[in-house]
């Protein structure tokens, strides 16, 4: 039987389920090409929660559902994570219509906001596009870990990596630009200014397809070169190398989360898009900018309900009597762990509904086991390519309860699972070589129009940066990055703080870092791939968010993990 990987990942792999639920990548799938990553290859090895527990004591599913039904009558917060990206995961929103919903993002929404400002919609830019490019610029993304099914499309291409960390692709790249963290917007402006000086702009494209170019270029030209070099950490010489390499070429830009974990994250994506639009590199084969796309664009959203909302990155759990957490591990993954813990301890009653034990389940009053993706019907819309993946129920299990079943037992009137899935599929499905793809997918995205009100690309012409010179020069950035063996906090996590070798610390030494408000002790490991002004913590590290700020982006209600710098207070 064929199903699809449920995890929060660009690749949306198609999986052949064999005997004893053995999981293998589908060989003939154009993206999956027969292989899966560590997570799915080892999926069955990770212990799952088998029984509901109330304050640590086993109870029945019926009793657990009864408790939720009773408690949700009070002042309730509904918080959904991204442990499983199937569309049916959101069915529970129908049960929590009267609750406050934690809305916004721990992920990509600052950047997405900026993309929507310029292009209207963020369309996917998958491996089948990238294979038509001459040059690929990997900008704040780490495909070897987070998007491994992109790697075949990079073969034989000229590769440029823009990342403060020397990632595996950076080591092999034709050019690696070790940008200062938080410096990409200045780099995009530097590149735009130099491209304009070199008359690289595509006048015809700008004239026909864009709005606001004159304001953009005036704004760009008003920025002193020295300031742009200083703030980006990139010299004009390096910028010139990049421009030289892409001149007259078909170029894909693969942008990741790295560039936008900051207060002005939306403007960072907008600045990159503006640079690319100025060169006329949208709407042409092998050219464009790919980010975490709006996979659900064009599809019906039957579980969308109007509720009270509160921004997710800064939600105070403590003001709710009842907190229902589904498919997420906020104690580990939300910014500012101390505040999250404090909030949860003040709330009267916390439910964790998930697959695995974790930092959040350990603080919850009631723990409810979920069914795995193999045990329920679902559908996957991808944010990294055009293919739509069926996720049929493959096996029955006595363990756990599905999101749909929970909703039903909470008394919500529902259509059948199959009806919902068909409704969503039918709203926007097309076929290519017998495979389902999104109808709103375009072979060459934005070939004819952008999705803004004007139908044109909208250049930007201003942004705010609250960081002072002192903020920039002092302390260390804590890079928040993904690891190859964990999917955020699921699976095999890593517990080191990676430090630059210039600090002359020894592996396994302990150091204390402070962000000015909180302090935390870390065990270190030297990493020669780091800039001297950076340290790195992988997502899923128990202490990954001890020092990240209780704050959110100016736009997009997104967490801004790297908007704070830390100092060593003892080593
Ligand atoms: N194996 C694995 N795969 C995953 C995940 C996982 O946890 N593990 N998570 C999934 C999820 S939820 C997401 S959202 C995606 C994210 O996928 P990516 O965007 O690839 O993930 P990140 O590791 O957050 O960031 C990528 C890179 O940004 C760099 N970076 C940090 N700060 C800056 C900066 O200021 N400027 C620039 N230019 N670069 C910077 C980091 O060094 C890192 O190499 O991956 C998905 N895939
Ligand atoms: N420091 C730092 N913090 C980060 C990041 C970072 O890079 N660094 N990354 C951020 C990003 S990009 C993201 S997307 C978020 C992710 O943050 P979360 O959404 O909290 O992701 P996970 O840690 O993967 O937790 C997923 C949970 O879902 C459960 N689960 C899995 N499948 C199912 C299912 O079918 N049903 C139910 N009910 N539960 C299920 C798992 O048991 C697990 O507890 O974290 C953000 N936080
Ligand atoms: S996590 Fe990503 S790469 Fe791994 S199997 Fe799932 S979709 Fe494929
Ligand atoms: Mo994410």
Whole-angstrom distance, CA of residue 65 vs CA of residue 342 = 26
pLDDT in tens, 303-356: 999 999 999 999 999 999 999 999 999 999 999 999 999 999 999 999 999 999
Q: Which of 23, 36, 147, 387, when mutated, tests ligand 3's pocket best, judged by the most ligand atoms within 8 Å of its CB?
A: 36
Centroid of chain to Cα 433: 30
pLDDT, position 222: 97
Whole-angstrom distance, CA of residue 344 vs CA of residue 127 = 41
Least distant ligand from the CA of 404: 2
pLDDT, position 236: 98
Do residues 253 and 543 make contact, with C-beta atoms less than 8 angstroms apart? Answer: no
pLDDT at 65 over 90: yes
pLDDT, position 469: 79
- Please report, for the chain, the start and end positions of each structural domain, with discontinuous segments joined by +: 48-106+305-380+398-438, 109-291, 469-570
* E strand map for 237-370: 251-255, 288-290, 308-311, 322-326, 349-354, 366-369
pLDDT, position 191: 98
Least distant ligand from the CA of 261: 1
**Right CATH number for 469-570 from 3.10.150.10, 3.40.50.11600, 2.30.30.90, 2.40.40.20?**
2.40.40.20
Q: Quick one: which of 15, 76, 49, 118 has its CA closest to 371?
A: 49
pLDDT, position 443: 87
Q: Which of 3, 4, 7, 482, when mutated, tests ligand 3's pocket best, judged by the most ligand atoms within 8 Å of its CB?
A: 7
This prediction's pTM: 0.98
pLDDT in tens, 257-279: 999 999 999 999 999 999 999 99
pLDDT at 473 over 90: no
Ligand 1 atom 22: residue of nearest CA: 481
pLDDT, position 193: 98
To which residue do tokens 């064009």 refer?
A: 298
pLDDT at 445 over 90: yes
Ligand 1 centre to CA of 397 (Å) is: 34
Cβ of 353 closer than 6 Å to ligand 2, yes or no, is yes
Binding-site residues, ligand 1, Cβ < 6 A: 8-9, 107-108, 139-142, 145-146, 162-165, 167, 179, 181-182, 184, 256-259, 292, 479, 481-484, 486-488, 539, 562
Cβ of 40 closer than 6 Å to ligand 3, yes or no, is yes
pLDDT in tens, 93-103: 999 999 999 99
Cβ of 354 closer than 6 Å to ligand 2, yes or no, is yes
Ligand 3 centre to CA of 40 (Å) is: 7
Cβ of 545 closer than 6 Å to ligand 2, yes or no, is yes
Least distant ligand from the CA of 484: 1
48-106+305-380+398-438: CATH topology is: Rossmann fold (3.40.50)
Whole-angstrom distance, CA of residue 486 vs CA of residue 24 = 19
Cβ of 483 closer than 6 Å to ligand 2, yes or no, is no
Ligand 1 centre to CA of 82 (Å) is: 15
Q: Which of 49, 328, 405, when mutated, tests ligand 2's pocket best, judged by the most ligand atoms within 8 Å of its CB?
A: 328
Q: Which of 5, 27, 487, when mutated, tests ligand 3's pocket best, judged by the most ligand atoms within 8 Å of its CB?
A: 5
Cβ of 106 closer than 6 Å to ligand 2, yes or no, is yes
Ligand 3 atom 5: residue of nearest CA: 36
pLDDT in tens, 392-422: 999 999 999 999 999 999 999 999 999 999 9
**Atom of ligand 1 minimally distant from the CA of 38:** 1
H-type helices in 347-451, by residue range?
359-363, 403-409, 417-428
Ligand 1 atom 5: residue of nearest CA: 487
For the domain 109-291, what is the CATH code? Answer: 3.40.228.10
Collapsing DSSP to helix, strand or coil, 360 comes out as: helix
Over residues 17-44, mean pLDDT: 98
Least distant ligand from the CA of 13: 3
Cβ of 148 closer than 6 Å to ligand 3, yes or no, is yes
**Atom of ligand 1 minimally distant from the CA of 292:** 14
pLDDT at 468 over 90: no
Over residues 347-370, mean pLDDT: 98
pLDDT in tens, 372-398: 999 999 999 999 999 999 999 999 999
pLDDT in tens, 475-503: 999 999 999 999 999 999 999 999 999 99
**Atom of ligand 3 minimally distant from the CA of 9:** 2
pLDDT in tens, 125-166: 999 999 999 999 999 999 999 999 999 999 999 999 999 999
Query: What percent of the chain is predicted at pLDDT more than 90?
Result: 98
Q: Which of 124, 163, 182, when mutated, tests ligand 1's pocket best, judged by the most ligand atoms within 8 Å of its CB?
A: 163
pLDDT, position 441: 86
Mean pLDDT of the chain: 97
Ligand 1 atom 8: residue of nearest CA: 487
pLDDT, position 277: 98
pLDDT, position 470: 80
Question: CB 570: neighbour CB atoms within 10 A?
Answer: 10
**Atom of ligand 3 minimally distant from the CA of 41:** 5
pLDDT in tens, 515-525: 999 999 999 99
pLDDT at 442 over 90: no
* E strand map for 40-183: 53-54, 57-58, 76-80, 100-103, 135-139, 158-162, 175-177
Ligand 1 centre to CA of 170 (Å) is: 14
Q: How many residues does the chain have?
A: 571
pLDDT at 210 over 90: yes
Taking CA atoms, 41 is separated from 26, 50, 377, 395, 492, in Å, by 13, 21, 21, 18, 12
Cβ of 3 closer than 6 Å to ligand 2, yes or no, is no
Tell me the pLDDT band of 512, cut-offs 50, 70 and 90.
very high
pLDDT at 471 over 90: no
pLDDT, position 305: 95
Over residues 227-241, mean pLDDT: 97
């Amino acid at each position: 039987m064929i199903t699809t990987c449920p995890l929060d990942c660009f690749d949306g792999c198609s999986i052949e389920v064999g005997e004893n639920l053995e999981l293998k990548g589908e060989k003939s799938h154009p993206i999956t090409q027969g292989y899966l990553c560590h997570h799915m290859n080892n999926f069955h090895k990770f212990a799952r929660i088998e029984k509901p527990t109330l304050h640590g004591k086993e109870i029945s599913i019926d009793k657990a559902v009864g408790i939720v039904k009773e408690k949700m009558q009070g002042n309730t917060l509904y918080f959904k994570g991204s442990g499983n990206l199937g569309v049916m995961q959101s069915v529970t929103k129908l049960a929590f219509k009267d609750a406050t919903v934690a809305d916004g993002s721990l992920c990509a929404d600052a950047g997405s906001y900026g993309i929507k400002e310029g292009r209207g919609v963020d369309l996917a830019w998958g491996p089948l596009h990238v294979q038509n490019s001459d040059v690929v610029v990997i900008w704040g993304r780490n495909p070897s870990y987070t998007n491994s099914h992109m790697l075949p499309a990079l073969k034989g291409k000229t590769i440029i990596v823009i990342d403060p960390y020397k990632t595996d692709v950076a080591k092999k790249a034709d050019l690696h630009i070790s940008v200062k963290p938080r410096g990409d917007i200045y780099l995009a402006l530097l590149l735009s200014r130099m491209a304009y000086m070199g008359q690289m702009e595509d006048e015809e494209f700008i004239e026909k397809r864009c709005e606001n170019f004159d304001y953009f270029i005036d704004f760009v030209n008003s920025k002193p070169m020295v300031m742009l070099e200083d703030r980006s950490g990139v010299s004009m010489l390096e910028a010139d190398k990049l421009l030289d390499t892409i001149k007259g070429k078909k170029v894909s830009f693969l942008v990741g989360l790295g560039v936008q974990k900051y207060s002005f994250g939306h403007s960072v994506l907008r600045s990159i898009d503006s640079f690319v639009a100025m060169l006329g590199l949208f709407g042409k084969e092998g050219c464009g900018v790919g980010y975490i796309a709006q996979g659900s664009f064009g599809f019906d959203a039957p579980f969308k309900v109007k509720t009270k909302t509160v921004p997710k990155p800064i939600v105070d759990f403590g003001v709710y009597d009842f907190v229902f957490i589904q498919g997420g591990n906020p104690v580990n993954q939300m910014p500012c762990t101390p505040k999250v813990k404090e909030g949860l301890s003040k709330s009267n009653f916390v439910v964790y509904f998930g697959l695995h034990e974790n930092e959040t389940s350990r603080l919850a009053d009631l723990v409810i086991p979920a069914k795995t993706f193999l045990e329920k019907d679902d559908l996957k819309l991808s944010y990294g390519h055009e293919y739509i993946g069926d996720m049929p129920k493959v096996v029955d299990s006595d363990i756990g309860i599905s999101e749909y079943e929970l909703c039903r037992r909470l008394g919500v009137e529902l259509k059948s699972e199959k009806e919902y899935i068909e409704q969503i599929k039918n709203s926007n499905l097309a076929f290519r070589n017998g495979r389902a793809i999104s109808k709103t997918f375009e072979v060459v995205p934005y070939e004819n129009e952008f999705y803004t009100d004007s139908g044109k690309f909208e250049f930007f012409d201003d942004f705010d940066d609250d960081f002072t010179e002192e903020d920039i020069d002092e302390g260390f950035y804590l890079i928040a990055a993904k690891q190859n063996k964990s999917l955020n906090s699921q699976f095999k996590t890593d517990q080191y703080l990676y430090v630059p070798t210039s600090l002359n610390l020894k592996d396994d030494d302990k150091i204390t870092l402070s962000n000015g408000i909180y302090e935390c002790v870390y065990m270190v490991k030297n990493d020669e791939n780091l800039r001297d002004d950076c340290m790195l913590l992988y997502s899923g590290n128990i202490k990954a968010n001890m020092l990240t700020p209780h704050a959110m982006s100016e736009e997009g209600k997104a967490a801004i993990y790297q908007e704070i710098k830390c100092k060593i207070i003892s080593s």
